[in-house]
Amino acid sequence: MGGVGGVEKLGRDTNLRPIPSLLTSNVKAEDGFFYNGSIGQEPDRVYTAGMCIPGSTSDDCSVCIKTSSDRLIKNCPKEVQAYSWTSEPTLCFVRYSKSSFLGSADLDPLELVYNTRDINSNVSEFTAIWEGLAARMIAAASTTKSTPSSSKNHYIADVAALTPFQNIYALMQCTPDISSRDCENCLRHPSCCGQKQGGVIMMPNCFFRWDLYAFSKAFDNITVSSPPSLQPSSVNGAGISNVRSLQFDFKVIEVATDRFGNKLGQGGFGEVFKGTLPNGTEVAVKRLSKTSAQGAQEFKNEVVVVAKLQHRNLVKLHGFCLEGEEKILVYEFVPNKSLDYFLFDPTKQGQLDWTQRYNIIGGITRGILYLHHDSRLTIIHRDLKASNILLDADMNPKIADFGMARIFGMDQTGDNTNRIVGTRGYMPPEYVLQGLFSMKSDVYSFGVLVLEIISGRQNIFVHHSDTTVENLVTYAWRLWRDGTPLELVDSTISKNCQIEEVTRCIHIALLCVQRDPADRPDLSTINLMITRSSLNLPRPQPPGFFFPNRRNQEQDGSESSYSTIRCSSQTIIDVTITDLEPR
């Protein structure tokens, strides 16, 4: 999430490209995960700052800072100031400005995002507990030591029990360069979101988020009540007890991973390590957080779902380990990391040519088709995104991370939920606003993913100073409407791609992100559209997307990744104009 600048633009000679490397090199644990500095000389000097919350690992902080600063520069390349709060894999902050901002408390622009679902029982008790928690946290955050070397740095994460089975989780962070009084004023400034199930408030100097689930690893060492026990039980009619033949002893996993010494990365609910089984098979070992209740549910779900699947475009589950507090999943090792590792890194995008990207689109299509129609079960993935597409040695895609998946009955076509899960930007409007999901939910996510593969851009909100909002989906629609769809194509492949294939894939993606789920094609049809170029495609309508306004965004559902950017004036895309074919 981010910041806004003035009408003035940066000078032609101003270079923002050193910012990512400057910040990733200098935002360090020994300095309290905070750094401020500048690049260039007057009149083209640019001031910048970066920060991660205390308790972050150095790797997570570097990834977050790099991702956030790259996005900021890509989306706001000539604005006089911009900022971004990013929540994955940790919470971090990046800001740059033509003017020095160190020590100044800025209360604007203010960004509010909240769950549209209200607390509908024991409202007075919830309000009292929530207000008490917020007051305690504001007092604690604004009185902690504020120096770059402080381990606190105007930061606090806390949990309050609502019932024996439900907690409120909250996190506050002010930038450490402002005074305690300014921090308190910043955190107390907004008034919103009372009696909502979750929300996040952001300004250039402070961040405040609360939810009814543990949305950050910051809560791993905060205990209010014991996490639920993980006994063999049923998940959508099938239980872990039915797949015991896949169970590993913990000692075997410990030896295979050299005592968890070769870390590959960090997932939403735990860490991933490389290992070698006694038979020589290389594996990826996903060790879930011991204190995450969501991790426990995800573990059961993933074992039950993936154990029943066999397809070349789905990651293979070799087994699991369930001993004491240990919850471990053992997958095939996929050497080329995930799609986002290449797709969204400016230095690696060129390694994916159009032929490879087209092959990846086709492989993802076949994998989802298997989940929806060709396996023994009907499975809705519910979290399709670039980071959940792994790439093997030949860059073939494998769909991973089935923790959010749902199994449908033979005649079941849809369902609804009170707990919204997934990643913001990939969620269809009927799911965000009403909790409704079906196979067409995965189709919408697939459409977004195809646009990302073609463009090399993430589907994030960009807020402009004229209060307008756009994202990749509406940008693609505008280009299509104006007859210039090829302007969407990643510049690293634009001169060496098959124009007919690219245009057709953009067309298919826009059909997948239609507002009405009934207007989106199913995976069988999508597969035919991709493999049969002679098949005529219907005209796409304006995309289905719920746009919040600048002052009052609504995010229906808590379990999502917040990532939005603010920068100064550009033009909003009109998503209501009649559709046209490209010229």
Annotated binding site: 286
Give the C-alpha separation, 305 to 432, whole Å.
Answer: 24
Give the C-alpha separation, 334 to 341, whole Å.
Answer: 13
Of the candidates 96, 120, 85, the residue with the CA atom closest to the CA atom of residue 35:
96
Of the candidates 322, 316, 132, 127, the residue with the CA atom closest to the CA atom of residue 231:
322
What are residue 22's phi and psi, to 5 degrees?
-60, -45
Give the C-alpha separation, 462 to 448, whole Å.
Answer: 16
In one letter, which amino acid is 457?
A: R
Burial 484-500 (b: 16+ CB within 10 A, else e): ebeebbbebbeeebeee
The tokens for 175 are 């930038």
Which own/partner pairs from 316-323 qualify as long-range (CB within 8 Å, at least 24 positions apart)?
317/246, 318/246, 318/277, 318/281, 318/283, 319/246, 319/247, 319/248, 320/240, 320/243, 320/246, 320/247, 320/248, 321/247, 321/248, 321/249, 321/250, 321/252, 321/253, 322/230, 322/240, 322/247, 323/249, 323/250
Which residues are part of a known binding site for ATP? 286
Give the C-alpha separation, 544 to 483, whole Å.
Answer: 20
The tokens for 46 are 């640019």
Give the C-alpha separation, 340 to 389, whole Å.
Answer: 8
Strand blocks (E) in 261-403 = 263-266, 270-276, 282-288, 317-323, 326-332, 378-380, 389-391, 397-399
Catalytic residue among 60, 177, 383, 442: 383
In one letter, which amino acid is 393?
A: A
Give the C-alpha separation, 249 to 189, whole Å.
Answer: 53
Q: Does 220 qualify as catalytic in the annotation?
A: no
Give the C-alpha separation, 7 to 466, whole Å.
Answer: 10
Greatest distance between any 2 Cα atoms in the chain? 68
The tokens for 188 are 């107390």
Neighbours of 450 (CB within 10 A): 25
In one letter, which amino acid is 416?
A: N
SS3 391: strand
SS3 506: helix
Catalytic residues: 383
